[in-house]
């Protein structure tokens, strides 16, 4: 696993260069005042198995908010580690009943279901949803838990690995969330 000491444009370029064939998703467009505060990759150079990004900002109802997006090959476990679950993958209950929220990736609407963190020994103030996107697990971890209400409108996630020059304008920095 590779994770920079601090979130910066140069470190993000290094992250994207190490995992050129693996998508790195960010909410797009980013809301004013939000910034990229953390990112990580799992795999070998040139062959990623997982990518994580975290954007942080504020909402009128929740105050400070962290939104972590993980996209990973099944069995990798990065999403579970960040979510604080005990299994490597989201769980067998995924897909039962209607989806809690949906996000958009390209032209695809991706359904996401809640993932239980009740067996976690860590902090509890978070919401976790997961689903499948392009044959891989997609996890969203939101802190605080009430920030789940931000997803009432379908969010757009964009693979920024091939974005190029617009990445220069992304704001980076701030404290990385604990996980």
Is residue 2 included in any domain, yes or no? Answer: no
**pLDDT over 70 percentage in the chain:** 97
pLDDT range class, residue 46, cuts 50, 70, 90: confident
Is residue 119 included in any domain, yes or no? Answer: yes
pLDDT range class, residue 45, cuts 50, 70, 90: confident
Is residue 29 included in any domain, yes or no? Answer: yes
Is residue 176 included in any domain, yes or no? Answer: no
Is residue 80 included in any domain, yes or no? Answer: yes
Is residue 175 included in any domain, yes or no? Answer: no
pLDDT range class, residue 56, cuts 50, 70, 90: very high
Q: For the chain, how many structural domains are there in total?
A: 1
Q: Beta-carbon neighbour count of residue 99 at 10 Å?
A: 16
Q: What is the pLDDT of residues 130-170, one digit of tens each?
A: 999 999 999 999 999 999 998 887 899 999 998 888 888 99
Is residue 3 included in any domain, yes or no? Answer: no
Chain mean pLDDT for the chain: 91
Domain carrying residue 67 = 9-169
pLDDT range class, residue 119, cuts 50, 70, 90: low
Is residue 45 included in any domain, yes or no? Answer: yes
Q: Answer whether 55's CB lies under 8 Å from 27's CB.
A: yes
**Is the pTM here over 0.75, yes or no?**
yes
Whole-number pLDDT of residue 120? 66
Whole-number pLDDT of residue 43? 92
Q: What is the pLDDT of residues 67-107, one digit of tens each?
A: 999 999 999 999 999 999 888 999 777 878 999 999 999 98
Whole-number pLDDT of residue 100? 93
């Amino acid at each position: 696993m590779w994770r920079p000491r601090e979130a910066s444009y140069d470190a993000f370029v290094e992250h994207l260069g190490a995992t050129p064939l693996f998508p790195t998703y960010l909410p797009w467009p980013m809301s004013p005042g939000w910034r990229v505060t953390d990112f990580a990759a799992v795999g070998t150079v040139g062959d990623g198995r997982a990518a994580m990004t975290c954007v942080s900002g504020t909402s009128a109802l929740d105050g400070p908010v962290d939104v972590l997006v993980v996209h990973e090959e099944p069995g990798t476990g990065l999403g579970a580690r960040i979510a604080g679950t005990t299994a490597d993958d989201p769980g067998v209950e995924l897909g039962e009943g209607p989806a809690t929220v949906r996000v958009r990736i390209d032209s695809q609407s991706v359904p996401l279901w809640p993932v239980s963190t009740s067996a976690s020994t860590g902090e509890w103030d978070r919401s976790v949803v997961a689903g499948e996107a392009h044959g891989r697990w997609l996890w969203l971890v939101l802190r605080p838990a009430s920030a789940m209400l931000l997803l009432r409108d379908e969010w757009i996630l964009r693979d920024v690995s091939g974005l190029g020059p617009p990445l220069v304008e992304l704001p980076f920095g701030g404290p990385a969330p604990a996980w």
